[in-house]
Every structure is written in C-alpha cells, then in structure tokens.
Structure 1
Amino acid sequence: MSFKKDLTKAPGASLSRVKIGAAIKRSRETAGYSVDDLSVTTGLTEIEISKIELGADTDPAKLQRIAAALQVSPQTFT
C-alpha cells in the first residue's frame, strides 16, 4: 500500500492528514527550522508548507522533500 493511498483511501483520512501536518510541524520545530528555513531548504513555498502543516496538502513528493530536509524518515509523519 503506497503512502498516498493510505492518506486518501483510509477512513478518517482528513484526521490522518491533520496528524501528518502536526507531525511535520513538530519535526520542523524540533530541527530548529522556521517555515521560511524549510521553504529555502526544500524549494517549496511557505504557503505550500503551511498547507501541509494544516493537513490540506499531503502530496507524497512534497512530504519526501520535507523528510529529506529534516533528515527524518517519511514514516515519522504517519
């Protein structure tokens, strides 16, 4: 089962997205990154990162980029 499929097909998917966003925010803050810092490191815009942290965007490619920038496994977010 792919990471994306888990997010879009699972019951309670919107709650899962919010949890993923919260986990990303926690990881970012733990690493000492601001949204701007993470934006520069990942090449994503600050708006994209904010949407991800709010759970509005769970694009697996973006999550991979964030995980790589924070030097954590993408599974950290699930």
Structure 2
Amino acid sequence: MNMASKIVKSPVARSVGGLLAEARAARGYSLDDVAETTGLTVAEVTALENDTDFDASRIRRTAAALGVLDKI
C-alpha cells in the first residue's frame, strides 16, 4: 500500500454559489423566480451562483429565499 492511499480526504466544502444553485434547482426555481422573489436581477443571481459576487446582503437575501440561510 502506498502512502497516498492512506491519506483520508476531507469532504470538500461547497462554495456559497454552488449551495445557492443547488438549492434553487432542488426547489425547481428558475433564475427569474429567484430574481423576482429577492428583488435582484437575473444577472445578480447568476453572479452569486457563479461565485463572482460576494455581496453579503445579496447572499443572505437569496439564501433566505431558498431556505438555506442556516447553511452559509
């Protein structure tokens, strides 16, 4: 057995954007649905899901709308 096979991998943490995208898909919501619910634009929601927007207020608002605020 080589040394690499003895290394235990830790679970990879999802990105905040990945968590938001997964939650949206799991609920069957479109980007338009989330944008309308949160008051954000589709471009802003997309940027959050792609981890290119790190605005805490937008993240919290979107996470709350998707029911995953406790996971971020």
TM tier, shorter chain?
A: 0.7 to 0.9
Query: Which one of the candidate residues 35, 39, 42 is aligned to 1:43?
Result: 39
Runs of 4+ in 1 over 6 A off after TM superposition: none
Q: Given the two structures, how large is their TM-score scaled by the length of structure 2? A: 0.73
Structure having the higher helix fraction is: 1
Q: Given the two structures, how large is their TM-score scaled by the length of structure 1? A: 0.68
Q: Which stretches in structure 2 are left out of the alignment for 5+ residues? A: 1-12
Q: Which has the larger radius of gyration?
A: 2
Counterparts of 2:48 and 2:68 in 1: how far apart (Å)?
Answer: 16
Which stretch shifts more, 53-62 or 63-72?
63-72
2:71 equivalent in structure 1: 76
Matched, 1:58 2:54: yes
